[in-house]
Homo-oligomer: A and B are copies of this chain.
Amino acid sequence: MAVKENLRPGGRSARVQASVHKAVRELLAAMNRAEVTIPMIAGKAGVTPSTIYRRWGDLQELLADVAVERLRPDMQPVDTGNGQADLQAWAEQYAEEMSSGPGREMIRDVLAAQAGVNACKCAEYTRQQIDVIAGRAKARGAAFPDVDLVMDQVVAPIMYRILFGDVPDTTRVRDLVTRVMSTTD
């Protein structure tokens, strides 16, 4: 089910969303996720369960919607004055955040939803961060690999390892960054 986008800020729909998201975050902080139900969320958010079913379809879609909101980066990548160092710092932080307990839970929620819309958004947030780093390098007149290549050779291997049972350590992340940067030599 497609979740409505571009809500009018402060409108009724946006207020319902904010209230429901807040209720989900509070419930997840207080109890095991397997115990959380839509009627429980509705009660806490002050809406009817049918409002939630109408808007999100099912619990899994709602959890994915909340998770992707939390995965949205809340800061620009650190600007070190050098593209490789920027990418290195960003990739290390990304690997650390995504492989943490809460990071893994959020990725699992996003991927468990049938509708792929939140998974796409998640990849799009990541791409935007790399875009910022690439844009800065170009503004300095420095070479920087294509953003698609960075997604394939840095982001994808980090995410694959996290999802399929490995931990991408700092050395590994550094190797990935060094390799992709060498393609611009």
Contact = CB atoms under 8 A, between A and B. Distances in A.
Interface residues of A, number: 23
Most chain B Cβ neighbours within 10 Å, of A122, A123, A164: A164
Nearest to A112: B112
B164 A176 contact: no
Interface stretch (A3-11, A14-22, A47-55, A155-163): A155-163
| Count of this chain's copies in the oligomeric assembly | 2
Nearest to A154: B152
**Interface on chain A toward B: helix, strand, loop, or mixed SS?**
helix
Interface string A117-131: 101101100000000
A166 B163 CA distance: 17
A116 interface: yes
A143 interface: no
